[in-house]
Amino acid sequence: MPVSKAWQERLANAREQRIREQRWRCRLVNTRRWLDFAGNDYLGLAHDPRVQAAQAEGARRFGAGAGASHLVSGHLDIHDALEDALARWTGRERALLFSTGYMANLGVLQALADSHTAIFQDRLNHASLLDGATLSGARSRRFHHRDSSDLERLLSRSTATHNLVVSDGVFSMDGDVADITALGQLSQQYNAWLMIDDAHGLGVLGNNGSGCVEGFNSDTVPILVGTLGKALGTSGAFVAGDAALIEHITQFARSYVYTTAQPPSIAASTLAALTIVQHEPEHRLRLQQHINYFRQQAEALGLPLGNSHTPIQPLLLGNELRTMTWATRLTELGIQVGAIRPPTVPKGAARLRITLSARHTPSDIDRLLEGLESCLREDVVCPA
């Protein structure tokens, strides 16, 4: 089917917009200090000298890469040590490393679900969870965001042999947190497994930083996925659960079996980061202080904040052109934020996605607030 002229123009405009954004970033990175309020290094550990030193030492000791898949010869003692540490931290029997969070979600869902499975997903789940469900061949239904009544309605009608409920822990574009208690109760009531992807909660939430599932054991949340490239500041992901679950995923998750193992230097740096998370709660405390301060000041300015008390702070601008205008203004001030537009979010829900880090200083946040105030002062509400 030929591409229409309207679609050709739309694609050309999108390409031009991407080029302009790249040029802004390159220019500003080379000319001034760049304030990053777009990344996910929530505790600032990617820049911690101890984590950096552990990665360098890991490369010297084990080599720059693993050299093979985990099941061939790429799984080293350092991987074992990290998996054991992650299992203990999350209160699970075992953990299994993946190269990325996307690969973890695809692998877990493909290994556990098939055409006899019904998967029930929160409407705002991450794309990797939606894609994993599609690749598994299971029947998928999406319930309204954080709506346990809608989930119960769908579960009560299921005739599938197996039911699997899947949710983000912290939702990546809104920053709100899943109701783990309600999800766990409904899953047990309807004999379903519950899978939580706590990519943005691990290291940030909970008394010991083990995420939004802290206090919930494998009986309530039998399948826990976490990433290492957010609060832990490194790269990769893991799934944690009981021994039988992990053994099954080890043997049948294609994105685990058929790819090169995580570089051992990354495993070494992640172990160092995990030690810091467990023994230095002051990083989480400082991050929470930043979140409270930003929200207090943003509310005083009348900025359109979302309902989030996590490091992800969306400013709900609604209009795509308005969102890009604000992002451009901040870029000119040397401040990087995420400009999120459809199809990542629904039409009419464009926003600036601001993320806070323990590495920020109060003056950094004041600089961001000043930039946002100038955006608000100069704001022209654009047509949809």
Q: 280-301: per-residue pLDDT in tens?
A: 999 999 999 999 999 999 999 9
172 is in an annotated binding site: yes
Residue 371, token pair as written in the block: 């930039």
Please give the class, per CATH, of domain 281-377: alpha beta
The position carrying tokens 């990087």 is 336
75 is in an annotated binding site: no
pTM for this prediction: 0.90
Cis before 343? omega within 30: yes
> Which residues are CB-neighbours of 307 under 8 A, at least 6 positions away?
174, 176
Residue extents of the structural domains in the chain: 49-279, 281-377
- Dump pLDDT digits (tens) for 49-101: 999 999 999 999 999 999 999 999 999 999 999 999 999 999 999 999 999 99
Give the active site residues.
172, 200, 230
44 is in an annotated binding site: no
Q: What was the pLDDT predicted at 378? A: 86
Q: What was the pLDDT predicted at 187? A: 98
Distance of CA 354 to the CA centre of its chain: 14
Tally of CA atoms within 13 A in the half-sphere of 237 that contains its CB: 23
Q: Which residues pair with residue 354 across a beta bridge?
A: 313
Please give the class, per CATH, of domain 49-279: alpha beta
Is the pLDDT reported for residue 125 higher than 90? Answer: yes
344 is in an annotated binding site: yes
- DSSP tag of 351: E
What is the four-CA torsion angle of 152, 156, 158, 164, rounded to 10 degrees?
40
pLDDT band at 379 (very low <50, low <70, confident <90, very high): confident
Q: What was the pLDDT predicted at 28? A: 47
